Amino acid sequence: MEPDFDVIVAGGGVCGLIAAREIASSNLRVYVLEEDFEIGIPEKCAGLISVKALSYLGLFPSRKIVNNEIKRALIHSPLGSKVEVEATNQRVIVLNRREFDRELAKIAERNGALIDLGQKVLSVENEDGLVKVKTAKYERSARILVDARGLSSLKPEHGILQAAQYDIQGSWFEKDRIEVYLNNEISPGFFKWLIPLGHDTARLGVAGYSINPFEQLDKFVKDHKAKVMKKVASPIFIGGASKKFVHNSILYVGDAAGQTKPTTGGGIFTGGTGAVLAGRAVSESLINNDLSALRNYEVNWKRIFGKEFTIMSQARKIYERMDNGRIDKMVKVLSSSKILDKLSNKADFDYHSIGISQILSIIKEHPSLALDLIKSGFCAMFNMFKS
């Protein structure tokens, strides 16, 4: 039976749109189904990405999609210590996620993809060698399905943090400096963040295990006499990548495959790379009529990020076991360390293992802190870098 399309993409978020762009560029018939009535909203993401990662995903930092450029990060310990890390070399920008997603949709359409809005995928079935997708209005078939429905498709049993983010107006922060507030008592496993969008506007967010994020953000806003312009809530996934991304002729990409960094939950680069690789594997497979080529997607993604994700997950485990006293000690050690400059210049926003290894080498020089952390898995972590 002849299918309606070569490929159906379920979900028109960043990863679905990148996959659609890649596949449509090979002259294959691509159909994107997005349940929302507009691309790019609701805007749930903080939008931090490096210029290097953006260009890897095939986009340039135009004024339209970039809200701000970040040069420094100020990290607050729960007990009031602070450390400032220089980040100019990492060229980190804050995306306007709405415009970014719309730009991706335009490129996908220009390449020939059809995008259908307001179409929720209700069921997916494999039948007669085709994938059949049902919405409330119709059924469509394709040779391959790319599932990019985000966390609604992953349905994780662990690794979910409650999170919310406000757009605020205030006057105490600096335009080119993000702020991170660590506190394992009130935001266990994560932190509060402040990401400036301009001189007096910022994204303020918090995430953590089993927290009420609105309560915390409301208190912060009140204490800082800020004005709230927008509120959104959306969970963050830090549980690690799925074991398999490819199931017969269905490929999972982005959040749907757990491709968010286990440290910060950032997923535009790691999931976007998944979408690029999935798109290439799908094109290769359909052009050569060889479904086994789909596996290249998983193999190539794991070659780039496999070890990186293991190291990030291990670092997360250590952080989650640290109490506020230890976090404070670590921030103090970092702020007084001679190699803070090295950390500032060499750390990589896209590959956290580089910064993690530098932090470990600083800690190693401070036996009291190292001893504190041994119980938390520090040795296992150190051995991972040796191997």
Ligand X SMILES: Cc1cc2nc3c(=O)[nH]c(=O)nc-3n(C[C@H](O)[C@H](O)[C@H](O)COP(=O)(O)OP(=O)(O)OC[C@H]3O[C@@H](n4cnc5c(N)ncnc54)[C@H](O)[C@@H]3O)c2cc1C
Please report how close the Cβ of residue 11 comes to ligand X at its closest, in angstroms. 3
Report if residue 33 touches ligand X, rule: CB under 6 A: yes
Handedness of CA 343, 349, 351, 356 (dihedral sign): positive
Task: Residue 58: name the closest of 276, 303, 305 by CA.
Answer: 276
Report if residue 234 touches ligand X, rule: CB under 6 A: yes
Q: In this structure, which amino acid lies at residue 293?
A: A
Report if residue 194 touches ligand X, rule: CB under 6 A: no
From candidates 21, 29, 44, 76, binder to ligand X by CB under 6 A: 44
**Binding range to ligand X, per CB under 6 A, among 46-54, 60-68, 76-84, 136-144:** 46-54
From candidates 271, 301, 331, 340, binder to ligand X by CB under 6 A: 271
Separation between Cα atoms, residue 341 and residue 111, nearest integer Å: 44
Please report how close the Cβ of residue 18 comes to ligand X at its closest, in angstroms. 8
**Binding range to ligand X, per CB under 6 A, among 27-35, 311-319, 361-369, 378-386:** 27-35
Please report how close the Cβ of residue 273 comes to ligand X at its closest, in angstroms. 11
Report if residue 286 touches ligand X, rule: CB under 6 A: no
Separation between Cα atoms, residue 316 and residue 208, nearest integer Å: 12
Measured from the CB atom, the residue of 205 and 355 that comes closer to ligand X is 205
Report if residue 279 touches ligand X, rule: CB under 6 A: no
Report if residue 49 touches ligand X, rule: CB under 6 A: yes
- Residue 186: how many other CB atoms lie within 10 Å: 16
From candidates 28, 45, 104, 178, binder to ligand X by CB under 6 A: 45
Residues 120-149 binding ligand X (CB under 6 A) are 120-121, 148-149
Report if residue 46 touches ligand X, rule: CB under 6 A: yes
Measured from the CB atom, the residue of 148 and 217 that comes closer to ligand X is 148
Measured from the CB atom, the residue of 120 and 302 that comes closer to ligand X is 120
Report if residue 236 touches ligand X, rule: CB under 6 A: yes
Axis crossing angle, helix 367-374 with helix 324-336, rounded to the nearest 10: 150
From candidates 26, 29, 77, 150, binder to ligand X by CB under 6 A: 150
Report if residue 205 touches ligand X, rule: CB under 6 A: yes
Separation between Cα atoms, residue 90 and residue 183, nearest integer Å: 26
Residues 237-256 binding ligand X (CB under 6 A) are 254-256
Report if residue 311 touches ligand X, rule: CB under 6 A: no
Report if residue 69 touches ligand X, rule: CB under 6 A: no
Please report how close the Cβ of residue 235 comes to ligand X at its closest, in angstroms. 6
Measured from the CB atom, the residue of 12 and 159 that comes closer to ligand X is 12
Report if residue 267 touches ligand X, rule: CB under 6 A: yes
Residues 1-20 binding ligand X (CB under 6 A) are 10-16
Please report how close the Cβ of residue 97 comes to ligand X at its closest, in angstroms. 7
Positions in the binding site for ligand X (CB under 6 A):
10-16, 33-36, 44-49, 120-121, 148-150, 152, 163, 165, 205, 234, 236, 254-256, 260, 265-269, 271
